[in-house]
Chain A
Amino acid sequence: MNATESLRHSDAHSPLLEVRGLEKHFSLSGDFLEQLRFDKGRLVRRQEYVHAINGVDLTIQRGEALCVVGESGCGKSTVARTVMGLLKPSAGEVRYDGERIDDLSTRSLLPYRRRMQMIFQNPYASLNPRMTIQETLEEPIRLHHPQWSRQAIRDKVHEVMISVGVAPDWGNRYGHEFSGGQRQRIAIARALAVDPEFIVADEPISALDVSIQAQVLNLLMEARQERHLTYLFITHDLAVVEHFGTRVAVMYLGRVCEIADTATLFAHPRHPYTKALMSAIPRLEDDRPQHIRLEGEVPTPVHLPSGCVFHGRCPHANERCRREIPSLITTDNGAQVACHAIEEDRIS
């Protein structure tokens, strides 16, 4: 399982992952009978949906670390899960290495599952409490390489345990015997055990303590260099994004409002929401820039606002913003922004 093999059926220039017009709605109304309501003496069927993502386009090139940031409920985790095939999209498509994968059966998805692995937020929940660490790490290898000998599997487990900094002789312990940081290392080892090329990490460090966060972030960066990994990194922490990401997508209420190279985004945030989000980070410096106050709170994704999803809190919103959904436009510095005000040159 080396890099040349995984690059076999594609040229290195096509994007590794392409997401087009992705939508995901979750029904809130339960089954058919629960949807029936009496309304003015008549029986009507009513369905309500949570619009978790509404038309997201993303492209990830090989070797990139694309960070998706946003506040809770903006749909960033749903994007990660839909990309991984853990959720079926309501509309749109996911292409991995040129092949469409969102409509594949579980069986035909299996080869892709080896190439893309996921790391979850909560290492207390993502390790099976009844399996030893050795069993946890052997399981994915057995599944994806049924022809491997026991010794080969054991060697592989040994190798990944060393590479994430977990002593190999801890293999016969159980997950609960480890601290949060150690557990997250084991979860990373499990993802790396099948030599993936693409890692989806959903808030992998937010459940950890400050001094442990740096350790795990370093580990993820080492793995990226040594194993030539491509990342889709979901987080709400902009300081981590600035450090880790090569590109950033900012999401708000199920839509991408800005995508740019990390350096560009942090030097010149364009979208009003991005600006507000960046001004809200508590900084260590004495001279804090004036925090941009947003009116109100994030609307629920059940009743989406018309037009631009951000117009209710945006200081620059006008009639067009309330009516028409902005699409991503490329600005002069290469950033893509979805904002009417920027398109019309009302704001810089």
Chain B
Amino acid sequence: MSLLDVNHLDVRFALRNGDIQALRDVSFSLDRGERLGIVGESGAGKSVAAFSLLNLISKPGYIAGGSIRFDGQELIGQSERALRHIRGHRISMIFQDPMMTLNPVLSIGDQMVECLKAHRRISTHEARGIALHKLVQVQIPSPEARLDQYPHELSGGMRQRVIIAIALLLDPDIIIADEPTTALDVTIQAEIMALLLSLCEKHNVGLILITHDLGVVSQVTQRMLVMYAGRVIEEGPTREIINDPQHPYTQGLMNALPQMATPGSRLNQIPGSMPSLDNLPDGCAFHPRCHFAMRSDGQRRQACYEHVPGFVTSGNCRVACHMVSEMLGYERIPAEETTS
């Protein structure tokens, strides 16, 4: 059994004029020490997926259904107290903006000690020792001096290293990193990603990396999910998806990258933009932008326009697309319909 098993997760946001479904039928799993990338554009639901793992969705959001099993234990419906034992301790998070994550009025050392003492019964002296050890692991220059510095005294890259050290503080099983390098410069980003990768490998820590950057996913993760409008549309080994994407949306994303076209020529753009979650089209959410759906007719067209595609297996990947299932000669399986 996997370390983390997410099945049919539904997350909704209760609004005055009805619920908005931010996640529909999201399933994935993570083995011990495995690195998983979640890719998608803004609004695809990738951050909601990660936040819901620790029930960190704030009101009006709520988990409407599904199950999240971590190490054999169901997390949905757990008390706040039980979840607090898991958060930071067994599953920790790294957020996008390092300045927002660190407490500006506590020194780096105090924040690390506070976190350790919340989870373990140890003396401040011992806790400082562990904190220092973690700062050494993230290769911060002069780590002793950093313990007594405040976040504003550090540069962006340095702060993100401190945050990685805090995430590793209690030797978690999984780190969830939500766009950890988006706020950083290219050269710093490369260093931070390399550091995160080597630490995860060395300590056998699982990583869930949320990003919109296909380059980062391809270099760091072993498996990836592609999300679109609240659903997983493709999942599989990163190399397979990057080398041979099956879903028209994933293909479109890859082909739209400037490095995929000859310099100066027209880029292969995906027309239109992602629909907002309160106004999803019927059938496959991608059909208004999908060139296969647009060109098809008859029964095929009806499938794309009216039925939500179910997953089909292609190689080691799962893909939710009527066209792919047809090309592979599958019977058309509609998804378990969850639309209200």
Contact = CB atoms under 8 A, between A and B. Distances in A.
Interface stretch (A15-23, A108-116, A136-144, A293-301): A293-301
A214 B257 CA distance: 7
Contacts, number: 110
A71 interface: yes
Interface residues of A, number: 40
B62 to A, nearest CB: 27
Interface centre among B42, B239, B263 (most CB of A within 10 A): B263
Given A179-B273, A280-B190, A243 B258 contact: yes
B212 interface: yes
Interface stretch (B10-18, B111-119, B214-222): B214-222
B158 interface: yes
A35 to B, nearest CB: 23
B269 A284 contact: no
Interface stretch (A79-87, A167-175, A234-242): A234-242
A240 B269 contact: no
B227 to A, nearest CB: 13
A243 B269 CA distance: 14
Given A71-B185, A284-B242, A294-B187, A214 B218 contact: no
B48 interface: no
A281 interface: yes
A9 interface: no
B189 A280 contact: yes
Contact of A297 (B157, B216, B268): B157
A314 interface: no
A76 to B, nearest CB: 12
B187 A282 contact: no
Interface bin, chain B: 35 or more
A217 B187 contact: no
Contact of A283 (B219, B252, B269): B219
Interface centre among A212, A244, A277 (most CB of B within 10 A): A212
Nearest to A299: B155
A163 to B, nearest CB: 16
Interface string A180-216: 0110000000000000000000000000011111110
Contacts of B141: 296
Contacts of A298: 185
B157 A214 contact: no
Contacts of B290: none
Given A283-B219, A294-B187, 10 more contacts: A179-B273, A211-B270, A236-B185, A239-B257, A277-B186, A282-B213, A284-B254, A286-B239, A291-B190, A297-B155
10 contacts: A181-B273, A210-B41, A210-B256, A211-B273, A215-B271, A243-B264, A282-B215, A284-B254, A291-B194, A297-B188
Interface of B: 41-42, 141, 155, 157-158, 185-191, 193-194, 212-216, 218-219, 239, 242, 252-254, 256-259, 261, 263-264, 266-271, 273-274
Enumerate the 8 nearest inter-chain pairs by beta-carbon distance, A residue then B residue, closest first: A282-B215, A243-B258, A214-B256, A71-B185, A280-B190, A214-B269, A209-B41, A214-B267
